[in-house]
């Protein structure tokens, strides 16, 4: 499998903020400044939501700039409602308030959650609000279809350890598996599980069993692949190139075949995406269907793999499993002006809501996090449905975004076929990433679309 230079977790999200000028970039060699100390999942510096899920302590101003990560909770998520979902612009780090945080347009239809991707958007992504430090996770899902459309079910840690299931819409009989250590691109790690029955029309159960010693990928209870830690020793770096740090569950749909993407990514995704396909004409968006998701924590008696406290944090920049601390540190920010080192900071006039918690001079919400209404159909519906909030649950009339907004999922310039962005701007942005460190590509293709 070839996906150009981008590990999946690096490519999934990434969007330009709407709160200020372009944020300062961050990497292993360029840490964030004190005034914007948190390096987000997308390699950009800010405060507030930048300091929550995905915040990389290695690239932040200090290890404690990022907010500690809520510990693992064994739980079954029914995925029949969005009552326990919050947009990134409304979540301040309390896992008791939400099971999932994300961007884009999730909908509820027929007792399942649809992740949607309207024309010229960068799709939808949801991430769990708690972190697995080893354990089992399984998801019942139907993939999206058509060339260029990618569905993903992954584990991704804040330091870019990653374990993947990826599904390319042009091939409905294959699940691609992969893993990465700290975001270092190594595409020799990919193995396909083949001969599946129509992944678009049929639910399958995909499972990841992750221990300190191995990773097992299963489909419908049948082992498809095993990777042992013992086989990942890197003599040059003198460490195990094996995922080993607390990770969020992340599910998504994204446009691998965007015309402005690198050619290797487009080829891997099955070709350039068709924004005028039968799927788009019928429903108004591409979609992937997610049913029940179950997390079982590892429950070690001593590290690594414990979940005895409230949160995880790192005590060393090497960010390996022996540097993870299972602690009682809090995980909730007072406002989007707060950071890991000043979790109670506010502007003196707000109560922690998304409105008014960040000034125009600071970046606090990657991608803006808007979740507007619109008028697209849900699969199987005979009418377009009325406009309603994407964060509410239970109604099949929940609708796709309109084009009157900016943010993660929206770029509605008509007729471009390239995500509504200027391809030349995207090309220049890609050029900026190629010569940098392995992590520099973490801003991903979606960030480039909105430059």
Task: Check: CB of residue 280 under 8 Å from CB of residue 102.
Answer: no
Q: From CA 161, how far away is CA 115, in angstroms rounded? A: 24
User: Is 207 tagged catalytic?
Assistant: no
- For residue 350, pLDDT over 90 is answered with no
Q: From CA 451, how far away is CA 15, in angstroms rounded? A: 8
pLDDT at 118: 97
Q: pLDDT digit string (tens) for 136-193? A: 999 999 999 999 999 999 999 999 999 999 999 999 999 999 999 999 988 789 999 9
| Residue in 44, 69, 166, 279 annotated catalytic | 166
Q: pLDDT digit string (tens) for 81-112? A: 999 999 999 999 999 999 999 999 999 999 99
Pairing status of strand 105-109 against strand 286-297: unpaired
Domain covering 1-451: architecture: Sandwich (2.60)
Residue 381's pLDDT band (boundaries 50, 70, 90)? very low
- For residue 358, pLDDT over 80 is answered with no
Helix locations, 147-226, DSSP H: none
- Residue extents of the structural domains in the chain: 1-451
- For residue 374, pLDDT over 50 is answered with no
Q: pLDDT digit string (tens) for 421-432? A: 322 222 222 222
Comparing 213-227, 351-365, 389-403, the range with the smallest average pLDDT is 389-403
pTM above 0.75, yes or no: yes
Q: From CA 450, how far away is CA 258, in angstroms rounded? A: 13
How large is the average pLDDT for residues 407-412? 32
**Which percentage of the chain shows pLDDT scores above 70?**
73
- For residue 257, pLDDT over 70 is answered with yes
How large is the average pLDDT for residues 411-425? 32
User: Is 162 tagged catalytic?
Assistant: yes
Task: Check: CB of residue 117 under 8 Å from CB of residue 144.
Answer: yes
pLDDT at 361: 64
Helix (H, G, I), strand (E, B) or coil at 440: helix
| Residue in 44, 69, 162, 207 annotated catalytic | 162
Q: From CA 73, how far away is CA 130, in angstroms rounded? A: 7
Higher pLDDT, 396 or 279: 279
Higher pLDDT, 353 or 451: 353
Comparing 36-40, 143-147, 199-203, 387-391, the range with the smallest average pLDDT is 387-391
Q: pLDDT digit string (tens) for 263-314? A: 999 999 999 999 999 999 999 999 999 999 999 999 999 999 999 999 999 9
- For residue 417, pLDDT over 80 is answered with no
Residue 357's pLDDT band (boundaries 50, 70, 90)? very low
Question: For residue 392, what are the CA distances in angstroms to 127, 132, 252, 399, 410?
Answer: 17, 26, 19, 11, 19
């Amino acid at each position: 499998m070839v996906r150009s230079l981008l590990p999946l977790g690096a490519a999934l999200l990434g969007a330009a903020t709407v709160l200020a000028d372009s944020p300062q970039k961050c990497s292993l060699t360029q840490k964030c400044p004190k005034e914007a100390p948190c390096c987000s999942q997308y390699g950009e510096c800010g405060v507030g939501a930048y300091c929550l899920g995905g915040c990389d302590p290695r690239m932040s101003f200090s290890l404690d700039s990022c907010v500690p990560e809520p510990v693992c909770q064994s739980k079954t998520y029914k995925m029949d409602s969005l009552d326990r979902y919050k947009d990134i612009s409304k979540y301040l780090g309390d896992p008791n308030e939400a099971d999932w945080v994300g961007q884009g347009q999730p909908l509820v239809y027929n007792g399942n959650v649809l992740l949607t991707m309207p024309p010229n958007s960068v799709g939808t992504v949801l991430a769990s609000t708690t972190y697995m430090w080893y354990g089992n996770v399984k998801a019942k899902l139907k993939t999206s279809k058509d060339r260029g459309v990618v569905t993903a079910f992954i584990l991704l840690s804040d330091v870019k350890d990653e374990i993947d299931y990826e599904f390319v819409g042009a091939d409905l009989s294959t699940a691609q598996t992969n893993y990465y250590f700290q975001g270092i691109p190594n595409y020799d790690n990919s193995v396909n599980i083949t001969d599946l029955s129509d992944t678009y029309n049929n639910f399958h159960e995909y499972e990841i069993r992750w221990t300190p010693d191995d990773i097992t990928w299963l489909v419908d209870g049948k082992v498809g692949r095993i990777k042992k830690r013992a086989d990942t020793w890197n003599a040059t770096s003198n460490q195990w190139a094996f995922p080993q740090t607390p990770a969020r569950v992340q599910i998504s749909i994204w446009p691998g075949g965007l015309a402005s993407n690198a050619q290797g990514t487009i080829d891997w995704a099955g070709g350039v995406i068709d924004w005028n396909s039968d799927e788009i004409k019928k429903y108004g968006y591409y979609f992937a269907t997610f049913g029940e998701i179950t997390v079982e924590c590892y429950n070690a008696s001593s590290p690594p793999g414990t979940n005895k406290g409230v949160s995880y944090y790192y005590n060393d920049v090497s960010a390996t499993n022996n540097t993870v601390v299972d602690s009682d540190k809090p995980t909730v920010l007072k406002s989007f002006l707060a950071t890991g080192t000043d979790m109670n900071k506010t502007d003196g006039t707000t109560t922690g809501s998304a409105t008014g918690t960040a000034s125009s001079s600071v970046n606090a919400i990657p991608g803006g996090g808007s979740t507007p209404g619109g008028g697209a159909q849900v699969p199987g519906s005979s009418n377009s449905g009325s406009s309603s909030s994407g964060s509410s649950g239970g109604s099949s009339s929940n609708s796709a975004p309109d084009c009157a907004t900016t943010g993660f999922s929206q770029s509605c310039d008509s007729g471009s076929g390239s995500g509504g962005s200027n391809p030349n701007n995207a090309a220049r942005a890609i050029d900026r990433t190629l010569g940098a460190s392995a992590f520099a590509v973490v801003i991903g293709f979606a960030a480039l679309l909105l430059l």
